[in-house]
Amino acid sequence: MTIDSSSAPQTSGASWIERAVAAARRRRVYRDVFEIGLVAIAFLLYFIVRGMVVDRAGEAYDNARTVIDIERALGIYWEPRLQDLVLGNRPVVQAMNFIYFWLDFPLIVAVGLWMYFARRHAYTIARDALLLSGAIALVIYNVFPVMPPRLMPGGEFIGTIEKYSDLSYQAQSMQAFVNPYAAVPSLHFGWAVIIGGAMVMTMRQPLLRIAGLLLPWAQMAAIVFTANHFIVDAFVGLVVCLAGLALAGAMQRWGYPYVRREVDRRWGAASLRTT
């Protein structure tokens, strides 16, 4: 009886390839499930905090007056005059509304998806910075709820998105997903810094990199002109997001290596026991 010597290696090779492909698919599934789990936890925490502050309008108003007093003491209570400059110019108002709405969550999702598939390491840093800064912000929202300018009584401010745009974060269909007293910190501005920085660092097209540089400035103008935030809110948002970036860097340097070592140690010991 003769044996075809080429058949065994081919079968072994095919089996190895199949196992490798299956392992890669499992790893990708686990990674995708992990990402979905992080988002789900973030939304759960957000809704918990929203439920804690949604009925604290009086406290939110008092805290907003405190923010105004701080700005007056610093000589930067410019929001009413700045909004007056654009209210008579409908194209500028619509541009500010567009920037505030579409260049926040929609842009984060778009850039995040691109980085997830094309720049995985940068994606991880940006993701951690967003989530960690968001966690810090949730604590501040609960401890120090602040009414945004557009909700302040007296008619000094006009919510331009609600008045001039059909689509708004405050639309009736979206109110259950929005914390009305999340003015401090302004993650609109802080996250624009993170996403803009990510665009500059990871994208090769000059126009996209320029857009990344301009994004925080455009969002700064939008949050003030639309009466969604005070100027101080943006500075607090910047500090919170820089803290998120620092913590994300610490995760890369110490956190994830520690987790990998622990996983290798535990799984390595387990594999030795089963052999």
SS (H, E, C) the chain: CCCCCCHHHHHHHHHHHHHHHHHHHHHHHHHHHHHHHHHHHHHHHHHHHHHHHCCCHHHHHHHHHHHHHHHHHHCCCCHHHHHHHHHCCHHHHHHHHHHHHHCCHHHHHHHHHHHHHHCHHHHHHHHHHHHHHHHHHHHHHHHCCECCHHHCCCCCCCCHHHHHCCCCCCCHHHHHHCCCCECCCCHHHHHHHHHHHHHHHHCCCHHHHHHHHHHHHHHHHHHHHCCCCCHHHHHHHHHHHHHHHHHHHHHHHHHHHHHHHHHHHHHHHHHHHHC
What is d(CA 112, CA 273) in angstroms, rounded to the nearest whole number? 41
Q: What confidence score (pLDDT) does residue 44 get?
A: 76
Percent of the chain with pLDDT over 90: 61
Q: What confidence score (pLDDT) does residue 2 get?
A: 46
pLDDT in tens, 7-57: 444 445 556 555 555 555 556 666 777 777 877 787 777 767 766 778 889
Q: Which has more pLDDT, 58 or 269?
A: 58
CB 227 within 8 A of CB 78: no
Q: What confidence score (pLDDT) does residue 66 get?
A: 98
Question: What angle in degrees, to the nearest 10, is found between the helix axes of 206-225 and 231-250?
Answer: 140
Q: Is the pLDDT of residue 81 over 60?
A: yes
Give Rg (Cα) of the chain. Answer: 24
- What domains are there in the chain, each with its CATH number? 57-269 (1.20.144)
pTM of this structure: 0.82
End-to-end CA distance of the chain: 35
Q: In this structure, what token pair is assigned to residue 7? A: 């058949």
Q: What confidence score (pLDDT) does residue 8 get?
A: 46
Q: Which has more pLDDT, 76 or 20?
A: 76
What's the rounded mean pLDDT across residues 156-179? Answer: 72
CB 103 within 8 A of CB 192: yes
CB 238 within 8 A of CB 197: no
